Amino acid sequence: MVQGVREVADGLNAIAGASDEQSMTLREVSQAVKELDQITQRNGSMVEEALHSTLGLRDRSSSLSASVAAIRLRRGTADEAHALVCRAVQRVEQRGLAAAAQEFHDPAGVFRDRDQYIFVFDRNGVYQVFGSTPERVGKTVHDVPGLDGALVLREFFAAAQRGGDWVDYEVVNPVTGAVDEKTSFILPLGTDRVIGCGVFKPKGGFSLQVA
């Protein structure tokens, strides 16, 4: 009988041990599930943040592309400047400088194209036409911010003496406020005046026609 009691006791101890092991296993499984849930939540948060960042980058990229496109649309080309000067000379020959100047100063006229406009000045550098800013008529090239007036007078009249040419120089860009490189196509207007139109030079430059 004693032997039987011992066997029963051993059996109960074995059951208790198995129960403890099972309880420990369940706790481990529960802990593992919690850790997996935390990892899933963190991954979900990371995915959401990554998606938000991606959308933000896409929006900024679209905005930047639109800004670049707008800047390009506001700028004329060298070929357009060349053509504008040639048309302006024809208009002066047809109507005279005084009448043509009214057209050159018309902000809605055909001689104003984005950042392009016609200018005319004499050998003293006094403007008779300044298409973008008529208030500068009567003032000189020395009054233009960032412009080397002496260089402009010398090089512009030298270009006119050659029958027409391009001249590079620096001047304050009214859009950025910085001093940028600009090039103007110059033609003679009689013997004592020059007429021209300029464009700000893009990085890498561009091809220029003279004829």
Q: Are residues 6 and 99 in the same domain?
A: no
Q: Give yes or no: residues 145 and 190 share one domain.
A: yes
Question: Are 86 and 130 members of one domain?
Answer: yes
Q: What is the pLDDT of residue 30?
A: 73
Q: What local confidence, expressed as pLDDT, does residue 72 receive?
A: 40
pTM of the shown model: 0.63
CA angle 112, 116, 120 (to 5 degrees): 85
pLDDT attached to residue 40: 73
Q: Which of 25, 47, 74 represents a domain boundary (last residue)?
A: 74
Report pLDDT for 31.
79
Give the pLDDT of residue 205.
Answer: 52
Phi, psi (deg, nearest 5) at residue 195:
-130, 140
CATH number of the domain that residue 141 is part of: 3.30.450.20
pLDDT 10s per residue in the chain (211 long)? Answer: 555 546 655 654 555 555 555 556 667 767 776 877 787 787 777 767 766 666 665 655 554 444 333 334 346 799 999 999 999 999 999 999 999 999 999 999 999 988 899 999 999 999 999 999 999 999 999 999 999 999 999 999 999 999 999 999 999 988 788 999 999 999 999 999 999 999 998 765 544 555 5
Q: What is the pLDDT of residue 38?
A: 80
What confidence score (pLDDT) does residue 70 get? 35
102 with 115: CB under 8 angstroms? Answer: no
Co-location of 168 and 135 in the same domain? yes
64 with 134, same domain: the answer is no
Residue 54 lies in a domain: yes
Domain that holds residue 168: 75-200
Tally of domains within the chain: 2
Show contacts of 106-115: CB within 8 Å, 24+ apart. Answer: 111/84, 111/87, 113/76, 113/80, 113/84, 114/73, 114/74, 114/75, 114/76, 115/74, 115/75, 115/76, 115/175, 115/199, 115/200
Tokens coding 6: 């011992």
User: Does one domain contain both 110 and 129?
Assistant: yes
